[in-house]
Amino acid sequence: MKNGEMKSTSKTGVRGVIVMILVAVIAFGACIIRIGYLTLVKGDVYREKAEAQQLSDTTVSAARGTVYDANMKVLAQSASVWMVYINPSKVTEKNRSDVITVLSDTLALDAAELSRKIDNNASYGYLKIKGEVEFNERKALEDLIAEKKLRDVIFVDPDTKRYYPNGSLASTILGFTGTDGNGLYGIEYLYDDALTGTNGRIVTAKDGVQFELDNAYEISYEAEQGLSLVLTLDEEIQTILENALQTALVDNAAKNVYGIVMNPKTGAILAVANLPDYDSNDPYKVLYPQLTEYFKEYGTDAEKADPVAAARIEQWKNKSVADFYYPGSVFKVFVVAGAMEEGVIDENTTYYCGGTTTVGSRSIKDYNPTGHGNETPRTLLVNSCNTFAVNVGLKMGVDLYFKYFQAFGFSERTGVDLAGESTPAVNVTYHDPAVSFSTSDLASASFGQSISVTPLQIVTAISAIGNGGKLMQPYVVGKTVDAQGNTVSVTQPTVKRQVVSASTAATVASWMEDVVTEGTGKNAFVSGYHVAGKTGTSEKLGASNDAYIASFAGFAPRSDPEISVVIVIDDPKGANYSGGIIAAPVAGEVIEKTLSYLGVEPAYTEGEMAVMSAAMPDFTGKSVEEANSLLQDYDYTVRVVGEGSTVVAQMPEAGRKTPVNGVLVLYTQTDYEKEMTTVPDFTGLTVSQANRLAVGNNLNIRVSGSASSESTVVAYKQDYEVGQQVESGSVITVSFRTTTGIHD
């Protein structure tokens, strides 16, 4: 080889080595870059993948906050249940049959459907089988898991389930949760963020084939319970209201009935109910079949196609805040109050009602075709005079009328902390002078016929008359507390504005008491409690013939109200549809029972004292002679049963409210046999006639409603069935009302 060739070969070799070194350096650099990229840029991603293969991360559901009433009675609570899931990738030909049998038999699942789910998720490590598993199911399942050696396939983890201990009580306020535990309706929906806690985690190590290791690495993150709500609702008052509304719904074959009880001084809602309603534990079940039948006959095409779904939606709705209705004559209170405040009328303003008034080409009639004669603003309310109300409205004019329409809160939402409150709309629920407000519109609006309001707007506005003219912000959540019971937040009563002066409010309130003592609201009368109120009856414009809404709104006691109440009966069927006849008695019952429960002492007039009931004295342990001596101060009809000389028992029991001229049975033998009697039919009798019939049957009656001796006031309801056997001396509550002269 020539010297030149050797040099050339040497150079070529060197270049080759250099190239190889460069390739190696480049390759190594690329590896370094790749490693850097994977470490610095994609490190978190691959770390998560690695951990996912090496760690088991199980969610521990947080308990949802509890919902309490004002007295800390549980209205909604989460309880411990369990959730069952499987690892489909661990289901083999060998264990498949056992897995399906164990799950389907224990959890009442369809075996074929379960098999299909497993096949569709065979490559996954997680498949939820069933939530809200109760203790007995869980125990049986865990026993079979151990027996069949399926611990690596079937898993049972803690979970929670929402319970409503009172079923349907306050259901349209509380709402309900979905299968995922999130609030879907009512308070559960509106306060979902506060009620929802923070889930915990249990992280454990697994081996290469996904089995948990013995003495495994484990980290637990405790679940944090959500906040609890303490409502202003009182379970007892809620029960009183719902029971009264249930009777009204049935007795009047009504489409809907609504009611609200509020503290007029604070705006706190003590009870709110809408019937038909539902059970929050089973919200998809339609409790009232007539709802489904209604949508079958009267629904839209879509509702007729699926009337059950339509009925569900209808029963979930909180109509007290969502539904607008024509308030009718109840609205006269606010027209009179505004006109009084502005000096348009005063206490001495007079008007002659001839039964009809003309506005433009319209003739507006009063219910009384012959009219009420000479009237003042007081008798406008007492007689519920349409023509005088129109006269007052026209004197105010559209601008002044609208000023008080707004001031009392009818052109805006109340802002209550309840889900689903509807928003008033111009030319839909009310008239606005800036848009369109004719004289004819004003005439109708003056007696509550061409405007729509919600029951909550009415009870808030009527409370302003009772509390000295202040429009309060209504609310239902009194405070929130944490899992340890510490107060997190408190709702303070808020005055939105002073609508009318205290003197105007007091004057109108006194006239409203006259409405109840001598006017269209007689059937809301409660002895000793000085109820102030106003009745209303309105036609459902655009509805079928003879469709009405009957209502009553008021407060008690008049001089220092503890509660305000609104009762609305939507589309009652039958001869009686006036608010004074069918809504006022419901309000009276709610007022009487609520004030008694709250411990409000009645203040009786002399006339009320003459017919009132008194607490029965205790005669047990006294001799017959001593008892007779004490009884000289009472006007009881006394029956002594037995041959003994000492009273061992009595009926009515000591402390029971009994008419002062009632019946008392004294037993004088320890082995006495109760003396029984038959409950007669008091329907249609006056108070005095009913008393005589009761005494003649060795019974007492407790008068509910009007205690007037007028011949038109008669019994229409009693709490014991006719023909029922009861102990002699028992007290039968008989409700009285009049159907004469109280139309509005």
Residues 181-197 pLDDT 10s: 899 999 999 999 999 98
HSE (side-chain half, CA atoms, 13 Å) at 694: 31
Run of H or E residues at 361: none
pLDDT at 55 over 60: no
Query: Hey, which of 134-148, 247-261, 538-552 has the most confident mean pLDDT?
Result: 247-261
- Locus of tokens 């991360």: 57
- Which amino acid is present at 468? G
Domains 321-603 and 614-738 equal at CATH topology level = no
> What is the secondary structure of 228-281 as a DSSP string?
EEEES--HHHHHHHHHHHHHHHHHTT-SEEEEEEE-TTT-BEEEEEEES---TT
Q: What is residue 17's predicted lDDT score, i.e. its pLDDT?
A: 63
Mean pLDDT of 415-437: 95
Indicate the CATH number of 614-738 among 3.40.50.300, 3.40.140.10, 3.40.47.10, 3.30.10.20: 3.30.10.20
CA pair distance 240, 467, nearest whole angstrom: 23
Q: How confident is the model at residue 209 (pLDDT cuts 50, 70, 90)?
A: very low
- Paired residues of 453 in beta bridges: 325
Indicate the CATH number of 56-231 among 3.40.50.720, 3.90.226.10, 3.40.640.10, 3.90.1310.10: 3.90.1310.10
Where exactly are the structural domains of the chain? 56-231, 321-603, 614-738
CA pair distance 617, 371, nearest whole angstrom: 51
Contacts of 302 (CB under 8 A, 6+ apart): 310
Run of H or E residues at 540: none
Q: Which range is least confidently modeled, 524-528, 545-549, 594-598?
A: 545-549
Q: What is residue 666's predicted lDDT score, i.e. its pLDDT?
A: 95
Contacts of 454 (CB under 8 A, 6+ apart): 320, 321, 322, 323, 324, 325, 414, 421, 422
CA pair distance 404, 368, nearest whole angstrom: 28
Strands (E), 90-175: 127-133, 154-163
b/e sequence 174-194, b meaning 16+ C-beta within 10 Å: bbbbeeebebbbbbbbbbbeb
73-85: per-residue pLDDT in tens?
A: 999 998 878 888 8
CA pair distance 423, 414, nearest whole angstrom: 9
pLDDT at 440 over 60: yes
Mean pLDDT of 213-238: 82
Q: How confident is the model at residue 407 (pLDDT cuts 50, 70, 90)?
A: very high
**481 to 58, 66, 356, 486, 487: CA distances (angstroms):** 28, 9, 59, 5, 4
Q: Count the Cβ atoms, other than its own, within 10 Å of residue 505.
A: 22
**520 to 364, 559, 579: CA distances (angstroms):** 20, 20, 9
**706 to 150, 382, 521: CA distances (angstroms):** 72, 16, 10
The tokens describing 73, both together, are 């009675």
CATH topology of domain 321-603: Beta-lactamase (3.40.710)
476-494: per-residue pLDDT in tens?
A: 999 999 999 999 999 999 9
The pTM of the full predicted model, rounded to 2 decimals, is: 0.82
Q: What is residue 522's predicted lDDT score, i.e. its pLDDT?
A: 93
506-535: per-residue pLDDT in tens?
A: 999 999 999 999 999 999 999 899 999 999
Mean pLDDT of 560-568: 98
Share of the chain above pLDDT 70, in %: 89
Strands (E), 289-361: 351-353, 356-359
